[in-house]
Amino acid sequence: MSVVKRSLSSVSLTILRLSLSAWVGAAALFVITSVAEQVSPDFDSRIRDQLATIRFPLYYQFGFGALGVSILSGLAALKLSSGCQKKRVRAAVIFASLSLAGAAADYVWVYLPLQELISPPGKAREQGFVELHERSRHANEVHITLALLAAVFACSPEKPDSEGTCSTDAT
Q: Which residues contact 82 (CB under 8 A, 6 or more apart)?
A: 1
Given a cut of 90, whether residue 134 has pLDDT beyond it is: yes
- Residue 163 has a pLDDT of 62
pLDDT of residue 47: 93
Determine the average pLDDT of the residues in 120-140: 90
Q: Where are the alpha helices (DSSP H) in the chain?
A: 3-39, 45-80, 84-106, 112-117, 128-155
Least confident range of 79-88, 133-142, 145-154: 79-88
**61-120 per-position pLDDT tens digit:** 999 999 999 999 999 999 998 777 899 999 999 999 999 999 999 999 999 999 999 888
Average pLDDT over residues 160-164: 60
| pLDDT, position 127 | 86
Convert the pLDDT of each residue in 43-61 to its tens digit.
Answer: 998 999 999 899 999 999 9
**Cβ–Cβ < 8 Å for 69, 105:** no
pLDDT digits (tens, 9 = 90+) for 10-30: 999 999 999 999 999 999 999
Burial 14-43 (b: 16+ CB within 10 A, else e): ebbbbbbbbbbeebeebeeebeeeeeeeee
Structure confidence at residue 84 (pLDDT): 75
Distance CA 94, CA 77 (A): 13
| pLDDT for the residue numbered 160 | 62
Residue 170, pLDDT above cutoff 50 = no
Per cent of the chain over pLDDT 70 is: 91
